[in-house]
Chains A and B, each alone.
Chain A
Amino acid sequence: MEIAMDILNTILSSASVVFQPMMFLYLCVGFFIGIIFGALPGLTSMLAIVLLLPMTYTMPITVALIMCMGVYMAGIYSGCITAITIKIPGAPSSIMTTIDGNFMMQEGKGAKAIGYATIASMIGGGVGSILLILVSPLTMELALNIKTPGKFSLVLFSFVVICMIETKSKAKAILSMCFGLVVSTIGMDVMKPIARFNYGTANLLEGIDITALIIGAFALSELLDQATINNQEYKKMTNVASNIKFKRKDFFPSWAELKEIGIGNYVKSSLIGYFIGVLPGAGASMAAFVSYMEAKRCSKHPEKFGKGSPEGIVAAETANNAVCGGALVPMLSLGIPGDGTTAVILGVLLVYGIVPGPTLLTEQMHIIAPMYLALLVAAVLLLPLSLYLFGPYYLKIVRINRLVLYGAISVIAVLGVYAATTSIFQMGAALVVGIIMYALGKQGYPNVPFILAVILGPLFEEYLRTSLTLSQGSPMIFFTSIDSLIFLGITVLFSIFFIRSQAANKKEA
């Protein structure tokens, strides 16, 4: 408990860092990058962080992380802008907001719908961040007691969950994960000075750089995917948005309207979002969906859902922003990312040589502490502030010339690999990964298991081999170590839960 209190103190005392003018400016820059990337259909906060990744090399790590928090919170939120106004979610997490938000838009209440979404995102993001600040010191302290077999079982748990969560095809999620693990084994062996799978090429001795993999899998594959979109059709859709005009006062619902939604809806949705965020690979889209369905189930007016119900907007938006805090808990305390974006943030940490997990709190807590508060500030302060200051101009974002935007993204992405590695070979590797992930994505292979496997693969192998070396090859070590046994038990329970709930869903359908 003493360690947890120390961590909490370190986090709270980092307020002096976050509110330094330059740091706050970086947070705002990150926030507005997030707003732009989140609002534009096809671009996500994850892509924004991917593009920022090579640039962060020359920044102090604290600045880089503060910027990432701004991008993360704003990127998840701003997907609602186009979801409500033109029925195209800017981010996948805003799909549920489209249902009621666009209905309100059609009734001439678009500004109010954005207002509901902003207040909900602020509350969800705020609650998620506060829970992160309160809970992660405890999980970090607990994580200190996890031994190597337990760490193996924990990573195994995250791999199992990420494949179980995939509803379309678990086999595809497993293959995507295997591809990530295959890539992670290229280069030097994790325990012996032996080169693996380099096929005689010196360039592959160090493996494929994490920046090249992230940029290839998330930026280049996305560019290839977006190339198939018809510009004329895109322009037609966005022209609708550019003709809409909002006034500041229209954004804010009255107290009575907010009261009608009920504080319970906000609290429940925040908790749903937070806990789904904690699960590896679940992400904001799932949180929004579960929260929306739960709000509908408990509502006094379920018939209004799908017909412009503010409750629906609030449930989805509160939950998807609460995910931000939840997803950072396992990433920071256990080194296991909760979603794709936190996987990329984990990449930022790894680039700086920081390995998240229990040792983080004892050795480098002062470096990462400001990011906790930055996330809270981004939610509670910047979200309402940006709505008030820039809300009427939000829709201008979608008028950005698509060709110019993607032209800039492509060159920044490819050069980002060079900036990180100064290697033409790694640039080529990023392109190859991009092509493969594009082709796999077209066939419904998810990319989040891939990136999680790339990041966690070397640790997974190290924990497995170390444990089995300690037990002289006996796998019983995973069942005799208490922490390992607990994680294996949780893995089995989750598997049963997911299989049963998915079977029930199938039956219902």
Chain B
Amino acid sequence: MRIYMKITSPYIRASVIAPAVILAVLIIYLLTALQMNTPIRDNALTESFFPFLISVVGICSACKLLLDGLRESRREAASFTAHPLALPVKPFLIVIITALFIFFFEILGFMIIAPIYIFFFMLIYDDKIQKIPSKIAYAVLIAAATFVLYEVVFNIRFPEIWR
């Protein structure tokens, strides 16, 4: 399962986008650090010194990778033609159901949400929608085994709708 995105510019590539995003995050991090305090005050290091140091090192590395990516893009710009890029959907769907599982975990409790999560997880992990009854059975079994493992063996209490 994949979705397709049309790439219209040679600069839209992971080797440019990834360092650019990291660079932006590091700049925000640096600005936040500088808003907290100056790195050195009265000859003593403050709480913003170490974040400042990390930002400087990180920004240098991100700039290097960004320049490498841009150089690579420029080299291939002459022969570039717009093409579709296939993106896998499964990891995206796994993220969605895991986020939903986490969100509803405290509201619905382990007993309800865990089997549902495991079922959908297996459904997405599989190549196509098939063997639904066996997936339901496995989901219930895995949830039961996890319950025994955590609640009975390790004495960890999960939220439940009746608690």
B77 contacts chain A at the CB level, 8 A cutoff: no
Contact B91 A225 (CB under 8 A): yes
Collect the chain B residues with CB atoms within 8 Å of residue A181's CB: 50, 54
Query: Given A185-B50, A225-B91, A407–B121 Cβ distance below 8 Å?
Result: yes
Q: How large is the interface on A (under 10, 10 to 19, 20 to 34, 35 or more residues)?
A: 35 or more
* Interchain Cβ contacts within 8 Å, total number: 162
**Chain B residues touching A, majority SS:** helix
Query: Given A227-B91, A411-B142, A424–B122 Cβ distance below 8 Å?
Result: no
Interface 1/0 per residue, A427-456 and B, CB below 8 Å: 110010001001110110100000000000
A486 contacts chain B at the CB level, 8 A cutoff: no
Interface 1/0 per residue, A134-171 and B, CB below 8 Å: 00000000000000000000000000000000000101
Contact A411 B61 (CB under 8 A): no
Task: Return A182 CB to nearest CB of chain B, in Å.
Answer: 6
Contacts A185-B51, A403-B125 given; 9 further ones with Cβ under 8 A?
A58-B155, A175-B19, A178-B26, A191-B47, A415-B146, A415-B158, A424-B102, A424-B103, A473-B44
Collect the chain A residues with CB atoms within 8 Å of residue B47's CB: 189, 191-192, 194, 196
Contact A461 B50 (CB under 8 A): yes
Alpha-carbon distance between A185 and B88 when the two chains are bound, in angstroms: 33
Contact A228 B90 (CB under 8 A): yes
Which A residues, 204 to 256, have Cβ-Cβ distances below 8 Å to chain B? 220, 223-225, 227-228, 230-232
Which B residues, 118 to 163, have Cβ-Cβ distances below 8 Å to chain A? 118, 121-122, 124-127, 135, 138-139, 142-143, 145-146, 149-150, 154-156, 158
Binds B, one of A342-350, A360-368, A463-471: A463-471
Contact A406 B125 (CB under 8 A): yes
Collect the chain B residues with CB atoms within 8 Å of residue A419's CB: 150, 154, 156
User: Interface residue count for B (Cβ, 8 Å)?
Assistant: 62
Contact A427 B154 (CB under 8 A): no
B65 contacts chain A at the CB level, 8 A cutoff: yes
B12 contacts chain A at the CB level, 8 A cutoff: no
Can you name the residue of chain B whose Cβ is closest to the Cβ of A228? B88
B106 contacts chain A at the CB level, 8 A cutoff: yes
Can you name the residue of chain A whose Cβ is closest to the Cβ of B62? A175
15 contacts between A and B (CB under 8 A): A169-B65, A174-B58, A175-B65, A178-B26, A178-B54, A192-B47, A227-B124, A228-B88, A410-B98, A410-B118, A414-B98, A443-B14, A465-B49, A468-B45, A473-B44
Can you name the residue of chain A whose Cβ is closest to the Cβ of B146? A411
Contact B58 A438 (CB under 8 A): no
Collect the chain B residues with CB atoms within 8 Å of residue A408's CB: 118, 142, 145-146
A172 contacts chain B at the CB level, 8 A cutoff: yes
Alpha-carbon distance between A502 and B109 when the two chains are bound, in angstroms: 54
B29 contacts chain A at the CB level, 8 A cutoff: yes
Task: Return B23 CB to nearest CB of chain A, in Å.
Answer: 10
Query: Given A196-B47, A406-B125, A174–B156 Cβ distance below 8 Å?
Result: no
